[in-house]
């Protein structure tokens, strides 16, 4: 029954992809229709050019939405029943059919995918209206969206290495096509190439990781791999490979570079899925590999995860802060959030390896909860970015401003996203961050001195990350929605009219708030995951009743968001009511104070780069900053300054340090190896001759 | 009863905070050989502001008008968490110290947004600087507080303070570090010299004032009040965490009165210290603040490490 | 095993082997194309003789066919064709200056030694004749390759190629008394077609690059120039 | 057995017919028919073999076992689809004046000649005939490489001819040595029959066979395109007409590898060690590495894919070299999927080059916009050949990797690194060609892309599920080659 739900989710998403192909067949259908029966008026009217495309788009997204709903249902039902279902599909290799296994961990990630996909499919029809021409064929978009989603779902279902890799690569390749969808810009093509290349390299690392396990076992089913008893060294090699592979997909620094390139160039609802969900699937892979397949974890792995996570979190948010492109910024912020998740997962590993499964469950909970939350708010933000782009046709934050008055609904939704991602209390982001801190604070139970001093430092970095994230999203919201408009595009922007787009984002915003207030709803589900996977759940998850969140014990820490919300409402109402009492209630509107000089223009506002200038000064080693001021000089002696241009470019260190050397290395090697092919046939004969002699010599 | 006490002390918090601000101002005036205003001057200012008609820029959006309420409520909520005159508060359980820091962040978030809303250079400047400073201060503060919470192995402030109180006088090196860190952070976060100057309106130096430049009337009152509340909150935190003696552990009137007296005395002393330091120290350049705050962060971290290595080692 | 103890047939075969090897050396050091072709024809003739000898002494009639085929193809047809080309191209007066001629010859000599060395373990079980014959044919083959490597004229390449074939043929005759008939016919057919194709190619190369110098065929390569 | 004769007879008729009447307008269609009938005949043959097991003709000249019958069907299939492609392609070439009637005649007759040689290589039981047929394949195609008579094509053909000729001569020496070893234990006339040799493999002199194998490997390896003997391959592939490149890549290389594997089976039987396997692994790995790196610096689209062929042949050689049932199975599968994919790619490449009027990568742009089918075909084909699932190439590469992990784990990272490099090398060139904005005057052309669709669909199918009869077939072949089956 549960499996049927899961399968239907996969099949529906697949079907939605196939249905999108119909888009190109309108004339064919028209033809066929005329031939068969010409009397049905309504059907014929559907085949009008406009109606047909909107009909197909709606149908495609409806199927996709249904698939999302089924995924949610499947996830919920397996989580609630806490069961494990397995199956075999008669596909794959003759001696290795595709094995399917659906357990709580998969179920939880099904939930994430399902929610995100449902929101996206509400949002989609409004967003893709413009993609009907041959320039951007909807057929391609729809097909690969469907494949992408089904790929992600299949990854979660896979129970053997072979099937896993197929699903994994299906996900990668389908999303590659989506990234390359708007391929007329060279930057997009480059992004797509980098994306696919890194996806491939990552996949190879994963294969190798599986290979290490498989070479010690009889088969490649996960069941067989679970049985493998590896020596510590081999296990560590497998772990490093898996970390490299899954980390590449998840976007861990320094293998994150594809992420800020690829996410911004895909259509926004796809960016939302990629950033919000696909990264989580990578996380799923890592968890499955480390906690499930490898079984016994080592604390050193935890330390690696912790350190990498910390670097990613800090690096991600610092890079995010400097981006003027909204979607690039959001992509970098995904790096940050994944970093946080990895950190906490590292903590869980450390606790697990040191024999504190309950605390490990706490860390695991924090990690999964943050993954869940990140899926919600990052999706919301990407969808918001899509709405902004839809209305203003740009993504450069420096050219926006004042949209809160033009797009009030969007602004509220986006604000909720910003608050969640800045982990402010009452929103979901805070809960997971709170749990992360709680996990880190349990360091006292550990014996190892290194860990005892390392974890607090990591916690401090987490605090710094959170604070920087708040700064970053103040910048984002402030620059986009507040102040005055900085370009005529923004002047002309209007509120989104499409209800679906608002509903899709609204759903996510509502969930952000809901799970901020009632985190217990989701925490209970995650607890079942850790119960099944780690064999331990939270020590005391319901110490004080359902309103309360007291993960370890009520004496150690507790948080009751509903009460806090009530308090906030009371305080707010009292102050509001009290002050309203006054005679001078009517607000007088006046010009902004301009220090008496007159003529405030939007150009005088703080810009994005101005806002982040203090950070640039403070953390200037983190980026490669290219900042210069060009003056247009005129006049006889070149003394009159006609115009001043400020130029700022902030770049990632990982390019010159890691990637460019590799690229150069490959090219140089190719040049050197190319020299063997001189074009002279006598040389070639010489090779043949030499090879023969050499071989004969070797043999004898 | 617990809830009642909690609400009562929150009200006390809100009510007393202007008094503390007035006291600091008085002390400063005396130290600087000026004639001091009345200690109740802040009350009068607030009252007057509430009666004035607010003038709001034409550019302002709903966020600008709602923000003061949000800021004020968030700060009040933070106040509910901190034990003022008694420990064992139910509110401390519903929101622990991390949530308190979260509330500060909440208030700051909206304050910074409000600063950006009008679209003047000042507002943006203030927001940018505020976010910079706070993003450095917040981790330092958390570090300092974590030292406490790990000592008491709880993040519940009431319980933590009770733990310190019951332990009696133990000289902990970690607390010295944590205290210094917290003081440095408090100075930065409440916008005092040497990080910011609450009484300046000189564009190049101001931070907090720059953001609220466009506010007037009751909105300004709320924001001013919130920042006074914040000052008091930090004062109480420092006083009650590191010198908890005198705080009421049971809810009989005598203990409570005693607790009230104790905290007022402690705050008065702290205010004097603050006034003295503000008189002696000059304001820093903005870009030296990072060094200042990194130092605070370092102290907080040292506190934490010394707790883990020296005090809780096995 | 001394040579005196061997029968006449074997002695003859060994002499033939030596002669065939010698012709290979002659070809290797040859700068003039016409002479090269002549020596090649000579080698072909020696092969014919060997085949006939083998056919006679082993009483193996189908080797006669091979002998005839060799005669027709390698002594008459191919040299005739090549000679015609050379004359046609007016290249018969050209001397191809070989670089490091001594070095090449020394290399050739060491190849001969190498061939013995390589085949030594193989023929331990059988007679020295086999060793000799196989080693000579291997070295003829290798010398043919060396000839191709060291010469720049397409015609020399064809000669080299064909002399490799000769080496193979010699091995087949001497070591195994000829391959199965059907294979032998097939090989001969291939050689014939190859020869015809070579003729066609000379025409094409000449029309396209106006020379038969293979070093000029260097447009397709992987080197940055 | 009749089917086998039919398979050989039809192309023979084809050669004669096309030599006489190859210039007529419907020749392309007729060519399709010839190949189609051949395909049917091979299927008939395959059914027989699968039902009855090994078939040996009464005079023992022909041997059909599961190993070669599957290659025969593959050959016929690829030949058939390529002929479908070549019909409009050659018509277009004639239209734009690149080819005359004479050349078309030559093309079609040699196409059949090549097919005949391929079938002969596969069906013959005689190692000598195998050699003859292999040489015949070279001879048949060498004039096709220079079909356009450009200086480059003549150069390519010359190199092809000489290098393969010399190479194959070495193979003949190997065959002679094999024969020499065989006559020592048996009678002369039947000594080169594979079925006889195989039965007596353990009696053959191992030392002779080792040396023979070196010659055979280098000889046939030249045809496979093993580095450093590969130099003719990119030239010949890039300069000939594209249908020729498709069959060269898809068939000739396979059949050369088939010859090597046949010989390896004998050598393994004689020596009892994996000496041959090690040599093959070494050559395979080297080819794989070098070709993958060289992909990065290609400027000609057909050259690009010919290097990719070298790379994949290297991988197969490597896999056959490993030798276990898993690796052998993988190699057989890889042979199939590589043939299908690569010939599909060459079909799209041919159309793409016609579309853009050039083979230069720099000048081919925006295929997806001008003619979506060609663009997508090329893109998906490349994705398939680069080893992305769910295409079959992934399956076989995955299995090769696993086999490597089992036997030689330290080689696996190298292999993977190389797959990555190769992928990057392919994609950095392909992506700008298919995407982007096309040049202004680029026009869509008449193209038949059914071969591409069919091939890629088959490869996809093989990636998702290997049908039972095929799996059975593969495992029979695996059993034959490696002595056990992975099932």
pLDDT digits (tens, 9 = 90+) for A156-208: 999 988 899 999 999 999 999 999 888 888 888 888 999 998 988 999 999 98
Phi-psi map region of A251: left, alpha, beta (phi>0 left; psi -120 to 50 alpha): left
- The reply to whether A418 and A521 lie within a common domain is yes
Nearest CA in chain B to A619: B290
Asked if C183's CB is within 8 angstroms of D128's CB, the reply is yes
pLDDT in tens, B195-226: 888 777 776 667 888 888 889 888 999 999 99
- Residue C100 exposed, middle or buried by CB count within 10 Å (0-12, 13-18, 19+): exposed
Nearest residue to A528 (alpha-carbon basis) of A541, A511, A546, A543:
A541
A612–B213 CB contact, under 8 Å = no
What is the reported pLDDT for A542?
A: 53
**pLDDT score recorded for residue A8:** 92
Number of structural domains (chain C) is 1
A378 and A436 fall within a common domain? yes
What are the chain A neighbours of D417 within 8 Å (beta carbons)?
204
Mutate to test the interface with C, among A671, A675, A689, A691 (most CBs of C within 10 A): A689
Q: Which of A21, A165, A183, A671 to mutate against chain D (most D CBs within 10 Å)?
A: A183
Q: What pLDDT is recorded for position B27?
A: 93
Measured in angstroms, the CA of B35 and the nearest CA of chain A are apart by 30
pLDDT single digits (tens) A484-509: 888 888 888 888 888 889 999 999 99
Same domain? A499 vs A413? yes
Q: Does a structural domain hold residue C101?
A: yes
Q: What is the pLDDT of residue A239?
A: 93
Q: Place D187 in a pLDDT band, splitting at 50, 70 and 90.
A: low
Q: How far apart are CA A591 and CA A571, in angstroms?
A: 31
Of B100, B114, B227, the closest CA to residue A474 belongs to B114
Q: What is the pLDDT along chain B (314 residues), one digit of tens a residue?
A: 788 888 888 999 999 999 999 999 999 999 988 888 999 999 999 989 888 888 898 888 899 988 999 999 999 999 998 998 888 888 888 888 999 999 999 999 999 999 999 888 888 888 999 999 988 888 898 888 888 888 888 888 888 888 888 887 778 888 899 999 999 999 998 888 888 887 777 766 678 888 888 898 889 999 999 999 999 999 999 999 888 888 888 888 888 899 999 999 999 999 999 999 988 888 888 888 888 998 998 898 888 888 887 776 55
Pairwise CA distance, residues B287 & B195, whole Å: 10
Alpha-carbon gap: C187 to the closest alpha carbon of chain A (Å)? 22
Indicate the residue of A675, A679, A686 with minimum beta-carbon distance to C219.
A679
What DSSP letter does each residue of chain B carry, written as one string? -HHHHHHHHHHHHHHHHHHHHHHHHHHHHHHTT-PPPPTTHHHHHHHHHHHSPPEEETT--HHHHHHHHHHHHHHHHHHHHS-SSBS--HHHHHB-HHHHHHHHHHHHHHHHHHHHHS--HHHHHHHHHHHHHHHHHHHHHHHHHHHHHHHHT---HHHHHHHHHHH-S---HHHHHHHHHHHHHHHHHTT-TTT--TT---TTT-SHHHHTTT--HHHHHHHHHHHHHHHHHHHHHHHHHHS-TT-BSS--HHHHHHHHHHHHHHHHHHHHHHHHHHHHSPPPPGGGHHHHHHHHHHHHHHHHHHIIIIIS--
Mean pLDDT on D293-319: 92
Domains identified in chain A, total number: 3
pLDDT band for position D479 (cuts 50, 70, 90): confident
pLDDT per position as a tens digit, A562-620: 888 998 899 888 888 877 766 556 788 888 877 777 777 888 888 888 899 889 888 88
pLDDT at A539: 65
Q: In A68-202, at which residue ranges do the beta strands (DSSP E only) sit?
A: 85-93, 96-102
Identify the pLDDT of residue C29. 82
CB contacts of A680 in chain C (<8 Å) are: 214-215, 217-218, 221
d(CA D172, CA C138): 12
The pLDDT of residue A509: 95
**Residues A376, A509 within the same domain:** yes
Asked if residue A588 is part of any domain, the answer here is no
Q: Cβ–Cβ of D207/C122 closer than 8 Å?
A: yes
Share of chain D above pLDDT 90, in %: 32
- Residues D50-71 have pLDDT tens digits of 888 888 888 888 888 888 888 9
pLDDT reported for residue D97: 82
pLDDT in tens, B99-130: 999 999 999 999 999 999 988 888 888 899 99
The structure tokens listed for D394 are 């992934």
Assess whether chains A and D touch, using the rule of 3 or more C-beta pairs within 8 angstroms. yes
A433-472 residues touching B, CB cutoff 8 A = 434, 437-438, 441, 443-444, 447, 449, 452-453, 456-457, 459-461, 463-464, 466-468, 470-471
Cα–Cα dist A100/D473, whole Å: 27
Name the phi and psi angles at B298, rounded to 5: -60, -45
Distance (Å, rounded) from C-alpha A615 to C-alpha A322? 9
Minimum distance, in Å, between the CA of residue A682 and any CA atom of chain C: 5
Q: Would you say residue C225 lies in a domain?
A: no
Q: How confident is the model at residue A540, as a pLDDT?
A: 59
Distance from CA of B43 to the nearest CA of A (A): 15
Q: Cα distance from D301 to chain C (closest Cα, Å)?
A: 14
Q: What angle do CA A541, A544, A548 make, to 5 degrees?
A: 75
Q: Identify whether residues A303 and A393 lie together within a single domain.
A: yes
SS3 (DSSP) at D41: helix
B305 contact residues in A (CB cutoff 8 A): 453, 456
Give, for A651, the enclosing helix (H) or strand (E): strand A640-651
Q: Band the pLDDT of D323: cuts 50, 70, 90.
A: confident
Q: What is the DSSP letter of D365?
A: -
Q: How much is the pLDDT for A507?
A: 94
Residue holding tokens 């911004």?
A264
**Nearest CA of chain D to the CA of C165: how many Å?**
7
SS3 A639: coil
Distance from CA of D5 to the nearest CA of A (A): 33
Tell me, yes or no, whether A381 and A529 share the same domain. yes
φ, ψ of residue D124 to 5 degrees: the values are -70, 150
Q: Are residues A380 and A511 in the same domain?
A: yes
CB contact under 8 Å between A579 and B218, yes or no, is yes
Mutate to test the interface with A, among B75, B105, B212 (most CBs of A within 10 A): B105
Domain ranges for chain B, please list them: 2-311
C171 and C133 Cβ atoms separated by less than 8 Å = yes
How far apart are the C-alpha atoms of A697 and A164, rounded to whole Å? 46
Domain that includes residue C36, residue range: 3-216
Put simply, the answer to whether A685 touches C217 (Cβ < 8 Å) is no
User: How does DSSP classify residue A251?
Assistant: T
- Indicate the burial class of A148 (C-beta count within 10 angstroms; 0-12, 13-18, 19 or more): buried
Q: Is D253 on the interface with C (CB under 8 A)?
A: no
Distance between start and end Cα atoms, chain B:
41
Q: How far from chain centre, in Å, is Cα B195?
A: 14
Partner A contacted by C225 (CB < 8 A): no
Mean pLDDT of all residues in D114-137: 91
Question: Is the same domain home to A627 and A528?
Answer: no
Percentage with pLDDT > 70 across chain C: 90
Q: Choose the closest CB to A669 out of D293, D369, D428.
A: D293
Give the chains touching A; criterion: ≥3 Cβ pairs < 8 Å.
B, C, D
**Window 543-572 of A, Cβ < 8 Å to B:** 544, 548, 554-560, 563-564, 567-568, 571-572
Cα separations in angstroms, A513 against A116, A404, A428, B248? 15, 20, 6, 37
- Give the distance from residue A249's alpha carbon to the nearest chain C alpha carbon, in angstroms: 35
* Residues A500 and A628 grouped into a single domain: no
Candidate from C120-124, D4-8, D167-171, D483-487 with smallest mean pLDDT: C120-124
Q: Can you give the residue range of the structural domain that contains A630?
A: 619-652
C210 lies within 8 A of chain A by CB: no
pLDDT averaged over every residue in chain B? 88
Interface touch D435/A211, C-beta < 8 Å? no
Q: pTM of this prediction?
A: 0.92
C-alpha–C-alpha distance, residues A468 and B129, integer Å: 12
- Contact between B241 and B83 (Cβ < 8 Å): no
The pLDDT score that the predictor gives to residue A164 is 93
Chain D nearest C-alpha distance from C171 (Å):
7
Cα–Cα distance, A114 to A84 (Å, whole number): 19
Q: Could you tell me if D100 and D365 are in contact, meaning their C-beta atoms sit under 8 angstroms apart?
A: no
- Who among C124, C194, C217 is closest to D158 (CB)? C217
| Residue D297: how many other CB atoms lie within 10 Å | 21
Q: Kindly report the nearest CA distance between residue C202 and chain A, in angstroms.
A: 16
Per-residue pLDDT band for C94 (boundaries 50, 70, 90) equals low
- Chain A residues touching residue B56 (CB < 8 angstroms): 587-590
What is the C-alpha to C-alpha distance for residues A375 and A367, in angstroms, rounded to an integer? 12
Residues in chain B with CB shorter than 8 Å from the CB of A606 are 116, 121, 123-125, 127-128
Neighbouring CB atoms inside 10 A of C62's CB total 16
Mean pLDDT score, D128-134: 90
Rg (CA), chain B: 19
Best to test chain B binding among A354, A444, A567, A596 (most B CBs inside 10 Å): A567
Of the candidates C146, C145, C147, the residue with the CA atom closest to the CA atom of residue C33: C147
Decide if B308 and A460 are in contact by the 8 Å CB cutoff.
no
Quick check: D131 and C148 CB within 8 A? no
DSSP string, A529-590: HHHHHTS---S-TTTT-TT-B-SS-TTT--B-HHHHHHHHHHHHHHHHHHHHTSS--SPEEE
Judge whether residue D90 has pLDDT over 90: no
Is A639 found in the same domain as A509? no
How many Cα atoms are found within 13 Å in the side-chain-facing hemisphere of B21?
27
- A511 and A636 assigned to the same domain: no
Question: Nearest CA to CA, how far is A372 from chain B (Å)?
Answer: 20
pLDDT lower than 50: segments of chain A: 543
pLDDT classification of D14: cutoffs 50, 70, 90:
confident
Tell me which chain A residues have a C-beta less than 8 angstroms from the C-beta of D416: 204-205, 207-208
CB-defined contacts C:D, below 8 A: 134
Residues A385, A482 within the same domain: yes
Buried b (16+ CB within 10 A) or exposed e, A43-53: eeebbeeeebb
**Could you say which of A196, A666, A681 has the minimum Cβ distance to residue D427?**
A196
Question: Cβ contacts (< 8 Å) between C222 and chain A: which residues?
Answer: 674-677, 679
Tokens of A273: 């899925």
């Amino acid at each position: 029954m549960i499996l049927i739900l899961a399968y239907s989710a996969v099949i529906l998403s697949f079907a939605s992809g196939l249905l999108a192909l119909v888009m190109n067949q309108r004339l064919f259908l028209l033809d066929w229709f005329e031939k068969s029966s010409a009397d049905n008026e309504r059907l014929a009217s559907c085949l009008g050019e406009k109606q047909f495309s909107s009909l197909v788009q709606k149908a495609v997204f409806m199927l996709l939405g249904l698939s999302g709903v089924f995924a949610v249902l499947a996830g919920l039902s397996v989580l609630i029943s806490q069961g494990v279902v397995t199956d075999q599909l008669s596909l794959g290799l003759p001696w290795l059919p595709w094995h399917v296994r659906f357990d709580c961990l998969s179920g939880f990630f099904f939930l994430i995918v399902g929610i995100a996909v449902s929101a996206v499919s509400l949002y989609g029809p409004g967003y893709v209206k413009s993609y009907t021409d041959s320039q951007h064929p909807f057929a391609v978009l729809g097909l690969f969206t469907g494949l992408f989603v089904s790929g992600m779902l299949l990854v979660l279902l896979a129970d053997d290495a072979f099937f896993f890799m197929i699903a994994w690569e299906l996900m990668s390749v389908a999303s590659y096509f989506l990234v390359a969808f708007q391929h007329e810009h060279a930057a997009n093509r480059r992004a797509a190439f980098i994306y696919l290349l890194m996806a491939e390299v990552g996949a190879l690392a994963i294969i190798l990781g599986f290979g290490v396990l498989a070479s010690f076992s009889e088969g490649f089913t996960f069941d067989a791999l679970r049985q493998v008893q590896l020596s510590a060294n081999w296990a560590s090699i497998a772990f490093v490979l898996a970390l490299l592979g899954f980390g590449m997909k998840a976007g861990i620094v320094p293998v994150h570079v594809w992420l800020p390139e690829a996410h911004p160039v895909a259509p926004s609802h796809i960016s939302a899925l990629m950033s919000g969900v696909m990264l989580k699937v990578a996380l799923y892979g890592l968890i499955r590999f480390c906690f499930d397949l490898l079984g016994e974890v080592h604390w050193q792995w935890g330390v690696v995860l912790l350190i990498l996570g910390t670097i990613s979190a800090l690096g991600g948010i610092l890079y995010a802060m400097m981006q003027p492109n909204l979607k690039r910024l959001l992509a970098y912020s995904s790096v940050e959030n994944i970093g946080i998740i990895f950190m906490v997962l590292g903590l869980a590993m450390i606790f697990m390896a040191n024999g504190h499964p309950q605390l490990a469950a706490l860390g695991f909970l924090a990690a999964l909860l943050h993954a869940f939350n990140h899926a919600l708010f990052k999706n919301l933000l990407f969808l918001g970015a899509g709405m902004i782009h839809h209305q203003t046709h740009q993504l450069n934050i420096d050219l926006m401003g004042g949209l809160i008055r033009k797009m009030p609904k969007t602004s509220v939704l986006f604000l909720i996203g910003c608050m969640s991602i800045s982990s402010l209390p009452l929103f979901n982001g805070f809960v997971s961050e709170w749990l992360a801190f709680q996990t880190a604070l349990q360091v006292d139970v550990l014996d190892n001195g290194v860990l005892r001093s390392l974890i607090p430092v990591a916690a401090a970095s987490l605090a710094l990350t959170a604070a920087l994230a708040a700064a970053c999203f103040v910048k984002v919201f402030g620059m986009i929605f507040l102040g005055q408009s900085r370009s005529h595009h923004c002047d002309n922007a209007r509120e989104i009219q499409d209800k679906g787009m608002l509903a899709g984002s609204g759903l996510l915003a509502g969930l952000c708030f809901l799970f901020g207030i009632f985190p217990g709803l989701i925490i209970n589900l995650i607890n079942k995951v850790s119960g099944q996977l780690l064999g331990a759940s939270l020590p005391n998850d319901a110490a004080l009743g359902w309103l309360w969140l007291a993960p370890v014990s009520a004496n150690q820490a507790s948080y009751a968001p509903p009460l806090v919300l009530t308090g906030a409402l009371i305080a707010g109402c009292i102050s509001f009511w009290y002050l309203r009492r006054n005679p001078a209630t009517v607000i007088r509107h006046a010009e902004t104070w301009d220090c008496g000089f007159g003529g405030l223009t939007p150009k005088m506002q703080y810009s994005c780069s101005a806002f982040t200038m203090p950070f640039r000064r403070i953390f200037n080693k983190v980026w490669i900053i290219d900042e210069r001021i060009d003056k247009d000089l005129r006049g006889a002696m070149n003394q009159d300054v006609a115009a001043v241009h400020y130029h700022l470019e902030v770049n990632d260190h990982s390019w010159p340090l890691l990637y460019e050397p590799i690229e150069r290395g490959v090219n140089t090697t190719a040049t050197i190896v190319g020299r063997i092919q001189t074009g002279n046939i006598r040389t070639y004969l010489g090779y043949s001759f030499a090879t023969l002699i050499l071989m004969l010599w070797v043999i004898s | 009863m617990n809830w009642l006490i909690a609400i009562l002390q929150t009200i006390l918090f809100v009510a007393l905070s202007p008094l503390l601000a007035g006291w600091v101002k008085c002390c400063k005036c005396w130290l600087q050989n000026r004639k001091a205003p009345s200690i109740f001057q802040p009350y009068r200012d607030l009252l007057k502001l509430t009666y004035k008609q607010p003038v709001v820029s034409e550019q302002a959006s709903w966020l600008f008008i709602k923000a003061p309420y949000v800021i004020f409520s968030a700060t009040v909520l933070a106040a509910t968490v901190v034990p003022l005159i008694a420990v064992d508060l139910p509110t401390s359980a519903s929101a622990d110290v991390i949530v308190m820091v979260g509330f500060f962040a909440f208030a700051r978030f909206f304050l910074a947004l409000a600063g950006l809303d009008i679209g003047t250079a000042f507002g943006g400047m203030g927001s940018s600087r505020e976010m910079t400073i706070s993003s450095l201060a917040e981790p330092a503060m958390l570090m300092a507080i974590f030292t406490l919470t790990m000592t008491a192995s709880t993040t519940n402030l009431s319980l933590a303070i009770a733990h310190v109180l019951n332990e009696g006088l133990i000289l902990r090196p970690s607390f010295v570090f944590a205290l210094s860190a917290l003081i440095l952070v408090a100075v930065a976060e409440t916008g005092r010299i040497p990080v910011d100057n609450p009484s300046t309106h000189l564009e190049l130096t101001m931070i907090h004032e720059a953001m609220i430049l466009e506010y007037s009337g009751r909105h300004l009152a709320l924001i001013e009040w919130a920042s006074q509340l914040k000052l008091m909150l930090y004062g109480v935190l420092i006083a009650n965490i590191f010198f908890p003696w005198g705080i009421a552990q049971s809810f009989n009137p005598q203990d409570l009165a005693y607790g009230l007296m104790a905290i007022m005395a402690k705050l008065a002393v702290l205010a004097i210290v603050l006034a003295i330091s503000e008189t002696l120290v000059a304001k820093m350049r903005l870009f030296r603040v990072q060094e200042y705050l990194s130092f605070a962060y370092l102290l907080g971290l040292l506190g934490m490490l010394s707790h883990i290595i020296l005090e809780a080692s096995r | 095993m001394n040579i005196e103890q061997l029968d006449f047939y074997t002695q003859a075969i060994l002499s033939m082997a030596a002669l065939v090897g010698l012709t290979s050396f002659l070809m290797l050091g040859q700068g003039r194309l016409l002479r090269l072709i002549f020596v090649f024809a000579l080698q072909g003739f020696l092969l014919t003789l060997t085949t006939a000898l083998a056919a006679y002494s082993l009483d193996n009639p189908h080797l006669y066919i091979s002998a005839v085929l060799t005669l027709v193809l390698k002594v008459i047809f191919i040299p005739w064709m090549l000679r015609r080309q050379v004359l046609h191209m007016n290249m018969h007066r050209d001397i191809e200056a070989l670089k490091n001629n001594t070095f090449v010859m020394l290399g050739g000599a060491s190849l001969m030694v190498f061939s013995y060395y390589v085949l030594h373990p193989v023929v331990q079980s059988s007679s020295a004749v086999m060793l000799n014959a196989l080693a000579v044919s291997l070295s003829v083959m290798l010398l043919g390759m060396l000839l191709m490597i060291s010469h720049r004229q397409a015609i020399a390449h064809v000669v080299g190629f064909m002399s490799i074939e000769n080496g193979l043929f010699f091995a087949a005759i001497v070591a195994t008394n000829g391959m199965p008939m059907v294979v032998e016919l097939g090989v001969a057919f291939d050689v014939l077609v190859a020869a015809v194709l070579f003729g066609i190619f000379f025409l094409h190369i000449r029309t396209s690059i106006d020379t038969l110098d293979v070093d000029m065929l260097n447009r397709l390569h992987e080197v940055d120039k | 057995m009749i089917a086998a004769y039919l398979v050989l007879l039809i192309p023979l008729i084809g050669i004669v017919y096309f030599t006489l009447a190859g210039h007529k307008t419907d020749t392309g269609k007729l060519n399709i028919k010839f190949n189609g009938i051949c395909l049917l005949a091979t299927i008939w043959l395959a059914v027989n073999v699968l039902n009855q097991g090994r078939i040996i003709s009464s005079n023992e000249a022909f041997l059909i076992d599961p190993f070669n019958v599957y290659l025969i069907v593959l050959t016929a299939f690829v030949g058939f689809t390529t002929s479908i492609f070549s019909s409009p392609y050659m018509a277009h070439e004639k239209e734009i004046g690149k080819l005359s009637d004479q050349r078309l005649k030559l093309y079609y007759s040699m196409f059949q000649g090549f097919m005949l040689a391929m079938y002969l290589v596969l069906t013959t039981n005689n190692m000598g005939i195998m050699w003859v047929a292999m040489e015949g394949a070279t001879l048949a195609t060498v004039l096709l490489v220079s079909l356009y008579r450009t200086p480059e094509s003549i150069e390519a053909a010359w190199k092809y001819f000489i290098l393969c000729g010399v190479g194959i001569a070495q193979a003949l020496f190997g065959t002679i040595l094999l024969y020499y070893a065989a006559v020592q234990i048996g009678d002369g006339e039947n000594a080169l029959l594979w079925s006889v040799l195989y039965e007596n493999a353990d009696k053959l002199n191992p030392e002779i066979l080792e040396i023979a194998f070196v010659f055979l490997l280098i000889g046939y390896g030249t045809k496979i395109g093993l580095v450093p003997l590969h130099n003719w391959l990119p030239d010949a592939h890039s300069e000939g007409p594209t249908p020729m490149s498709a069959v060269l890549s898809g068939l000739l290389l396979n059949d050369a590898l088939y010859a090597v594997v046949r010989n390896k089976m004998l050598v393994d039987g004689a020596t009892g060690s994996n000496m041959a396997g090690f040599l093959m692994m070494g050559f395979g790995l080297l080819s794989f590495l070098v070709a993958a790196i060289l992909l990065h610096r290609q400027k000609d689209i057909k050259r690009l894919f010919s290097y990719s062929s070298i790379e994949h042949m290297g991988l197969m050689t490597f896999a056959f070299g490993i030798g276990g049932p898993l690796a052998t199975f993988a190699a057989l599968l890889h042979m199939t999927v590589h043939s299908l994919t690569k010939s599909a790619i060459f079909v799209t490449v041919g159309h793409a080059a016609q579309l853009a009027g050039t083979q230069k990568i720099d000048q081919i742009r925006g295929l997806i916009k001008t003619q979506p089918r060609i663009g997508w075909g090329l893109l998906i084909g490349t994705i398939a050949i680069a080893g992305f699932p769910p295409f079959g190439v992934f399956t076989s590469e995955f299995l090769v990797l696993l086999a490597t992990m089992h036997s030689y784990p330290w080689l696996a990272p190298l292999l993977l690194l190389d797959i990555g490099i190769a992928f990057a090398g392919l994609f950095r060139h392909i992506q700008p060609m298919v995407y982007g904005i096309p040049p202004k005057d680029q026009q869509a052309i008449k193209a038949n892309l059914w071969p591409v669709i069919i091939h890629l669909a088959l490869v996809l199918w093989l990636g998702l599920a290997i049908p039972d009869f095929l799996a059975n077939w593969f495992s029979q072949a695996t059993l034959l080659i490696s002595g056990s089956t992975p099932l």
